Amino acid sequence: MKLVASGLLLAALALAWTIPSSWAADNDIVVGFAIAQSGWMSENDGPPSQGALMAIDDINAKGGLLGRKIRPVFADTKSDQTQGAEAGESVLAQGAKLMIVSCDYDMGAGAATVGNDHKIPTFSLCASDAKMGVQGIGPYAFTIANASLTIGATLAQWGVVKKGWKNAYLLLDDTIEYNKGICSGFETQWKRAGGTIVGQDSFKQDDASIASQVTNMQQTNANSKIDFIMICSHGAGDVSAVRQIRSAGIETPIGGGDSMDGDFWTKAVPHLNDHYASTLGSPFGDDPRPFVNQFMDRMAKADGHRPPTSLAISGYSVVQALALAVQRANSLDGDAVLAQLNKFHDENLAIGPTTFTPDLHINLTRPQAILGIRDGKGYFVDLVQLPAPPPLKLIFKHQD
């Protein structure tokens, strides 16, 4: 799940739900978006959906798919898990042959299950839980994202191998599985790369104070110098933890997952330095991959300002993946499209090289961008790929 601070990107949502008049009602290939258009989850689904609409526009501008235009239709889950199945049924009733669901396993599972039951190839915009696939939903469900384990593990690999850090401290917000996955991946890879976890603690997303955790951190640092603090949280809880750690005078480098993409949130931590996030790419125009910078420039032109995060790339890539599979299958038949998706091997999508197999519908070793914060401003640091995927026993550890 890609959770952002409350209020982020609300202005961007207006574009995400605006359908150009060129997408007329008689176009034959219907893509159903069963996602949150209202409520708290809309802040997470909005930017990737905006990227998906841009990809649809690009394909239509080149003549469409299989010689036909793509037409998006929408149903609002209202950020309510119980509304997911209804939204899924709604887009199918509108003629959807392909489905896109929310940016989280729990929030997208209801609609994805409907898609799977009707043999409709279905993608989550950016769920980072491997259960958004064969093992949790069924064979027709995919997610374009890297696993949350990979997000954490990539930052660990960079910290130990590239920076030479040895001692890490884990601070886990244990309210959701996304956070747990990031910490699990980080811890496993940090140890694999030769580092040591010298301490760990936990807190809750809505804790007003983590004073006791900060004290424990200071005591640990006095005994075993901490080189890196990994916070596995999201949104306001993560920002609050960073602020309290820095307010306590701790200047140790801090890391976070892709929910800490961008630098919009640093206003709450003035003059922040040495914060690093593992995410898709840089929204700052300095990514070494030309397409990422071009994509961000296009988003800025369309919306009037640069995107605060890189997460819209995931939505663009979902449409790329579906279109590529349909083109290769030369059909909209669910089984034919599924067979092509399951053959993907390092396909060159906007999000990076993408691979799927019949048994795994999430990516585990795709490169992640490391973004840094210097005096409150974000910048690209590195592009890192894991030498080996996280252990399978961790990937499905929380599966019932």
Where along the chain do the CATH 3.40.50.2300 domains lie?
10-146+290-354, 148-286+367-395
Q: What angle do CA 105, 242, 154 make, to 5 degrees?
A: 50
Q: What pLDDT sits at residue 250?
A: 97
Span 155-203, pLDDT tens digits: 999 999 999 999 999 999 998 888 999 999 999 999 999 999 999 999 9
Indicate if the pLDDT at residue 14 is higher than 70: no
Span 41-62, pLDDT tens digits: 888 888 899 999 999 999 999 9
Q: Which of 120-124, 156-160, 165-169, 233-237 has the lowest mean pLDDT?
A: 233-237
Beta strands 347-349 and 352-354: pairing type?
Answer: antiparallel
Q: What pLDDT sits at residue 205?
A: 93
What is the chain's mean pLDDT, rounded? 91
Cβ(296)–Cβ(306) below 8 Å: yes
pTM higher than 0.75, yes or no? yes
Q: Is 251 exposed, middle or buried (0-12, 13-18, 19+ CB in 10 A)?
A: exposed
Which pLDDT band, with edges at 50, 70 and 90, does 396 fall under?
A: low
Please report, rounded to a whole number, the percentage of residues in the chain having pLDDT higher than 70: 92
Q: Is 87 exposed, middle or buried (0-12, 13-18, 19+ CB in 10 A)?
A: buried
Q: What pLDDT sits at residue 24?
A: 46
Give the fold, CATH level 3, of 10-146+290-354: Rossmann fold (3.40.50)
Q: What pLDDT sits at residue 25?
A: 52
d(Cα 278, Cα 48) in Å, to the nearest integer? 17
Q: Any idea how long the chain is?
A: 400
Span 104-114, pLDDT tens digits: 888 999 999 99
Give the fold, CATH level 3, of 148-286+367-395: Rossmann fold (3.40.50)
Q: Tokens standing for 55?
A: 């990809």
Q: C-alpha distances in angstroms, 317 versus 52, 313, 370?
A: 7, 6, 20
d(Cα 140, Cα 129) in Å, to the nearest integer? 15
Q: Tokens standing for 326?
A: 């349909």
